[in-house]
Homo-oligomer: A and B are copies of this chain.
């Protein structure tokens, strides 16, 4: 019904990965329980052990699964051409990031968010492999936008400013309904508007730092 050309066993495995990535994103590694994951996946409690050996491996594979599923939906470069200006390419990346974090069905960054607050170290290797390249590309773009005179520190600070704004969306989404951090639902749910805001806010910040550096 759901999938063609997959065995029953593969289907169980995929249901586990789907349920696990959602629940790990929602609760983090520690607070997620195998029982709940299996229940949502309509699988037996022992199936995690059978298909993935243990919870830790399931966690790693769930992140990989979520990340790969999002790849085509959210191109890291924002789908822009190479001949666009550095500002345009940076804007594309920011918008892609914000939209991805705002997507209720994108779990890889929600899991990273939890991981940054409560590190398990279980994702260190795969994040190094999958995320660091994008990080370095962002650094290069920032260097272009800030001018070649920009210091390494300025680049890192601007990167922190941008990523901080992006992750703030996850934080607010998560706190929805919990005082005192709730926002009006309408403001939070308009992801596109927030993405435009972050772009405008950040480009202005970068320009201010660039013009100060030029002196």
Contacts and interface: CB of A to CB of B under 8 A. Distances in A.
A119 B204 contact: no
Indicate how many identical chains form the complex.
Answer: 2
Contacts of A165: 160-161, 164-165
Interface residues of A, number: 59
A43 to B, nearest CB: 25
A187 interface: yes
B28 A198 contact: no
Contact of A114 (B118, B157, B206): B118
Given A160-B169, A161-B197, A161-B198, A114 B116 contact: no
Nearest to A165: B164
A193 B131 CA distance: 27
A127 interface: yes
